[in-house]
Amino acid sequence: MNDKAEGFINYLIEQFKTDKGTRAFMRRADNPSTEYQAWAILARFGINLEDEIERKSYATVGAALARANPSLDGGLKLGTALGACGKDGKAGDPEKARLRRILACTDVLELCGVLRHILPLFVSRNVPISYTRLLKDILQFKYNPEKVKIKWAKMFFAVEQVEEAVS
């Protein structure tokens, strides 16, 4: 599962460098009305299209990656990246509200729907999130959501504590 996630992200990053069509189809992957346009890419990579959780997980992260169009995968995990999105890189009330919304998710499908609206923030704030780590976390969320949520919260609040200590 995890090697597949890393391979998928690396595959997309390489494809986006030369194939604008792949990028265009993947940008539509997280929209329920146009998701089917990315199914050929997902299926080619071995994603089970009948498994809604797997399909939505890969589609959500793939769409965010297509919109960001990085030349390399970022290095920040979700909690750390979210904490770095505030003014001057400091987490504020909007970031805490976004974290609370993510932590309130009870299943992968709800999480993907919430992330669909939060992931563009990282691009707009130039925060280099690790799409590989995010995809692995989403896939793990299916089996142990509390563990994943705790990890994200610890990362977010660790960034906040460092910022307070520096201030």
Which residues have C-beta within 8 Å of that of residue 93, sequence separation ≥ 6? none
What domains does the chain contain, in order, with CATH numbers?
Answer: 2-166 (1.10.520.40)
Which residues have C-beta within 8 Å of that of residue 95, sequence separation ≥ 6? 82, 83, 85, 86, 156
Q: pLDDT value at position 166?
A: 47
How far, in Å, CA of 82 to CA of 90, rounded? 9
Q: pLDDT value at position 123?
A: 92
**Are the CB atoms for 41 and 63 separated by under 8 Å?**
no
Mind listing the pLDDT tens digit of every residue in the chain (167 residues)?
Answer: 459 999 999 999 999 999 999 999 999 999 999 999 999 999 999 999 999 999 999 999 999 999 998 899 999 999 999 998 877 666 678 999 999 999 999 999 999 999 999 999 999 999 999 999 999 999 999 999 999 999 999 999 885 555 454 44
Which residues have C-beta within 8 Å of that of residue 115, sequence separation ≥ 6? 60, 64, 102, 134, 138
How far, in Å, CA of 20 to CA of 153, rounded? 36
